[in-house]
Amino acid sequence: MVRDNYPLKSIKDVGGLFKSVWKLKVGAVDDRKYSLDEIEHGILRKRGDPRIHTAIVCASISCPDLSIEAYKPETLDDQLDRQMRRFLANPNKGMRINANTKSPKIFLSPIFDWFADDFKSSGGVLKFIKPYVLPKYRHALENPQHRVLYMDYNWSINGS
């Protein structure tokens, strides 16, 4: 989609003023065409695995990084774990902690806010992400003094 519409400033530029990029039919399975919304919300999120949010990529700077390998059924669980760890280890995209202030803060990707309901069955976002963050940051997730804030999302295309 990006390649076909390049150059772009943002993925949101695809589709124009009256049709959202997320609503465009972009792929087909068995002659049925799907939009990005249908794939994300109608198929992937319904599976109940919040790790999917680090595997689907919208070509924006703040998106999780694209995996270097294709997702395969036999390795999917490990691949999703790696993607979640990789995303959370990136302080510009996934998570960063500012503990050196009077009011310590945990900054998370707004993806965790937008899809907070997907993490509820696991006890919430902080509980869910704890096993995936670097060990030196796990204590911060349990500290009630750490205020959770969400980073700004940069929709600019992540390529040059």
Alpha-carbon distance of 79 to 83, in angstroms, equals 6
- Going by C-alpha positions, the residue among 42, 61, 48 that lies closest to residue 110 is 61
Phi, psi of 149 (to 5 degrees): -125, 165
What pLDDT tens digit does each residue of the chain (160 aa) get? 676 767 777 767 777 667 788 788 888 888 999 988 898 999 899 999 999 999 998 888 999 999 999 999 999 999 999 999 999 999 999 999 987 777 889 999 999 999 999 999 999 999 999 999 999 899 889 888 889 999 999 988 887 5
- Going by C-alpha positions, the residue among 52, 109, 59, 108 that lies closest to residue 84 is 52
Alpha-carbon distance of 99 to 110, in angstroms, equals 20
Indicate the pTM of the whole model: 0.87
